[in-house]
Chains A and B, each alone.
Chain A
Amino acid sequence: FPGLADVSISQDIPVEGEITVPVGSHSPDEDYSTLDEPVKDTIMRDLKAVGKKFVHVMYPRKSSALLRDWDLWGPLVLCVSLALMLQGGSADSKDDGGPQFAEVFVLIWFGAVVITLNSKLLGGTISFFQSLCVLGYCVMPLTVAMLVCRLVLLAGAGTVSFVIRLLVVGAMFGWSTLASTAFLADSQPPNRKALVVYPIFLFYFVISWMILTFTPQ
């Protein structure tokens, strides 16, 4: 299989998913077996899958584990926590100066949908939910940046803190864009990678901008 020669998966991070196509007669059996197991097992299995994907985002490599078993739990958790942290960041408490929860939520999901549609229209081979999954998980560095910014702002809001925040947010923005590009650009025809990368760059840029200009009340 010549196509599989490129995919290098490290030995210590196991790859998830099934290689065999499940035959119809097997499915009632499987449903039976996962229905019988204790709830703790189901939850732990899902949590482990989400955790593995986080690790894959932290160390972006050419692996297809993120794509094969997509799930949207991680993006939901990240999106909600980012929106909660960004809420009400305006200097005046009586005005709607800062982004509200709904705004951030809608921005992230709407932006991800637009980027996915764009990459599909440009001839990509990735499916809708796989792309949503990748874009959502790659918001993680920016959530970390938001945490760091909040902590830095607790110490004070001067020029030094702005420079620190700028550096942190800039680095995380670069990381997010690189991580998502590593997963998504491979599914495009080779001469159109720039067309797909630009909207991703814009998307993470807007989120980084909202994080950088956040001032607590």
Chain B
Amino acid sequence: QGGGSAVIDMENMDDTSGSSFEDMGEMHQRMKEEEEEEAEGEAGAGEEEDGEFLGMKGLRGQLGRQVADQMWQVGKRQASRAFSLYANIDILRPYFDVEPVQVRARLLESMIPVKMINFPQKIAGELYGPLMLVFTLVAILLHGMKTSDTIIREGTLMGTAIGTCFGYWLGVSSFMYFLAYLCNAQITMVQMLSLLGYGLFGHCVTLFVTYNIHFHSLFYIFWLVVGGLSTLRMVAVLVSRTVGHTQRLILCGTLAALHMLFLLYLHFAYHKVVEGILDTLEGPNMPPFQRVARDVPVVSNAVLNTTAKAIALTL
């Protein structure tokens, strides 16, 4: 019964194949291993087993096995092709095709409002610059939170910074893209992401300066000038791509408001606060996500008292 395993043994014709799909894979693997063993000439015992194995299954079993084997191969090939298609990061590669000079030029351009709003301005659909700006903003925010000793309960510094910056970039971009779709503006999602991302350059510069030099009047000047310039640029580009007064007003009003308010929020939420403001804004009822600045002992005492009372009530 031993000898060449490739020869189909016609002696036993009983069809006990039962070749299920799972068994096919096993059999395929075993056959591959056996081929390798044959190549080295080591597997005397293996060959004998192989010969017996095929001999028992018979002709019809052999055919069924081959068909199932082919199906297995085809399935495996399709799965690996689908994986390499969708898990391929090359989809994003064209958006990262930039030179350093281009990035620098775009950074500076983001602060210069365009004058011509009568024909559509070109927006580069690039994601490297905006992504790096968001990460830089995260780093600056961390620096600001550390130097002002902000305590974040029920959250972490890193998580808050990353969540805030990425949330703003992705969330506001999506919202503006949706509004642009409603107002019939000519802009794609990648262009919107790119535009808003480059607009964060003004935020980075302002926060970097004002987190280190603590003059409130300086912050307001920076907010108006730097924030205003980058907002004007984004607004001008959007206006050039929209038709109709009402639509232009809606889009640009929303973008300007969100952009400027975000800068205001970043400065006041994650930085040393003047004593009076915290009192008037938050008062005795603290929301569950609390930001307690260290230099306002009155409010933190009130908070401690309220929490102690609440705990005493529940016990």
Please, which residue of chain A has its CB at the minimum distance from the CB of B128?
Answer: A195
A199–B152 CB distance below 8 A: no
- When distances are taken between beta carbons in the complex, the residues of chain B under 8 Å from A194 are 100
B139–A205 CB distance below 8 A: yes
- When distances are taken between beta carbons in the complex, the residues of chain B under 8 Å from A213 are 146
Interface segment, one of B60-68, B117-125, B154-162, B233-241: B154-162
Contact with B along A7-37 (1 / 0, CB 8 A): 0000000000000000011001000000000
Interface segment, one of B21-29, B91-99, B194-202: B91-99
> Within 8 Å of chain A (Cβ to Cβ): is B268?
no
Q: How many whole Å from A157's CB to the nearest CB in chain B?
A: 15
B99–A209 CB distance below 8 A: no
Report whether over half of chain A's contact residues are helix, strand or loop; otherwise say mixed.
helix
Please, which residue of chain B has its CB at the minimum distance from the CB of A91?
Answer: B149
Chain B: interface residue total (CB-CB under 8 A): 30
Please, which residue of chain A has its CB at the minimum distance from the CB of B98?
Answer: A195
- When distances are taken between beta carbons in the complex, the residues of chain B under 8 Å from A195 are 98, 100, 103, 128
CA A205 – CA B101 in complex, angstroms? 23
Q: How many whole Å from A189's CB to the nearest CB in chain B?
A: 10
CA A192 – CA B155 in complex, angstroms? 37
Q: How many whole Å from B18's CB to the nearest CB in chain A?
A: 30
Please, which residue of chain A has its CB at the minimum distance from the CB of B147?
Answer: A213
- When distances are taken between beta carbons in the complex, the residues of chain B under 8 Å from A97 are 149, 151, 157
- When distances are taken between beta carbons in the complex, the residues of chain A under 8 Å from B92 are 121
Q: How many whole Å from B244's CB to the nearest CB in chain A?
A: 38
Select B158's contact among A92, A107, A198, beta carbons within 8 Å: A107
CA A195 – CA B40 in complex, angstroms? 51
CA A2 – CA B103 in complex, angstroms? 34
CA A206 – CA B142 in complex, angstroms? 8
Please, which residue of chain B has its CB at the minimum distance from the CB of A203?
Answer: B135
> Within 8 Å of chain B (Cβ to Cβ): is A122?
yes
Please, which residue of chain A has its CB at the minimum distance from the CB of B292?
Answer: A95
Q: How many whole Å from A134's CB to the nearest CB in chain B?
A: 19
Q: How many whole Å from B140's CB to the nearest CB in chain A?
A: 10
Please, which residue of chain A has its CB at the minimum distance from the CB of B93?
Answer: A121
B158–A103 CB distance below 8 A: yes
> Within 8 Å of chain B (Cβ to Cβ): is A100?
yes
Q: How many whole Å from A2's CB to the nearest CB in chain B?
A: 27
> Within 8 Å of chain B (Cβ to Cβ): is A202?
yes
Give residues of chain A (169-191) contacting chain B, Cβ–Cβ below 8 Å: 191
CA A86 – CA B132 in complex, angstroms? 26
A99–B93 CB distance below 8 A: no
B89–A121 CB distance below 8 A: yes
- When distances are taken between beta carbons in the complex, the residues of chain B under 8 Å from A46 are none
A contact residues vs B (CB 8 Å cutoff): 24-25, 28, 92, 95-97, 99-100, 103, 106-107, 114, 117-118, 120-123, 191-192, 194-195, 198-199, 202, 205-206, 209, 213
Pick the 10 closest A-B CB pairs, nearest first: A121-B96, A194-B100, A213-B146, A95-B151, A103-B158, A103-B156, A121-B93, A206-B139, A122-B96, A97-B151
Q: List 11 A-B contacts (CB under 8 A).
A: A28-B36, A103-B156, A103-B158, A121-B92, A121-B93, A121-B95, A195-B103, A195-B128, A202-B135, A202-B139, A209-B143
